[in-house]
Amino acid sequence: MLERPKRKNPVLRTRQPTLPPAARSRIALGLTAAAALGRFELQQCRDCGTVQYPPREACQRCLSIRLDWKQQSPAGELLSDTVLHHSNDLFFRERLPWRLGLVKLDCGPTVVAHLHERVAHAPSRVVVAAKLDRAGQAVLVALPDKEANMAEDRQLREFTCDPKFRKVLVTDGKTALGQSIVKALASPSAPRERNAGPNSCARRSRPK
């Protein structure tokens, strides 16, 4: 369960506001399009029926180029898991350690996924979901069950913009739009809100 963060030590260096790696191939954008609609889709060959990952220009089995994005079963088995303590990418370097795992999907492919903290060590059953990260790209996340919430996990929360335990600034709160945003943030699912001055924009940041 996500705990309220401690007050920031003003002496310590502030984490840089970076985004996850956004580079994707043209073919891989099909996964992002499906994730934006809340669906878990992978490429499937029309000729031999093979489901494949990562996305490719041709079928890995029969080399057919007749590939469709189709919704697949998200269930699978965690084969192995590890904790990353070093990364060359600035986003992950600022957030280490980071837990990853190798998941064998029931539909065929084996994928590398970010692991929810409640996922047990391998071997264990998981549900893989395609989610959009802060850079607007699809990432694969292994959850203990379909009801698990990414925002309740310390690591996976870094991919989200969930306002819980974060400071939220709503500017131009006197307008109808500003008032609507404040009311939405004041709902039980978003425990904290701030209301301020003259330009219409909502900004989110981590607590200081």
- Give CA angle at 74 (140, 118), nearest 5°: 65
| pLDDT of 127 above 60 | yes
| pLDDT of 174 above 50 | yes
For the chain, the straight-line distance linking the first and the last C-alpha, in angstroms and rounded, comes to 21
Segment among 39-48, 50-59, 145-154, 196-205 with least mean pLDDT: 196-205
What does the pLDDT average to over 58-68?
96
The string of pLDDT tens digits covering residues 19-53 is 898 888 999 999 999 999 999 999 999 999 999 99
Residue where the block lists tokens 């999907």: 105
For the chain, the residue count is: 208
Task: Read off the pLDDT band of 78 (50, 70, 90).
Answer: very high
Q: Is 103 exposed, middle or buried (0-12, 13-18, 19+ CB in 10 A)?
A: buried
Mean pLDDT over each residue of the chain, to the nearest integer: 85
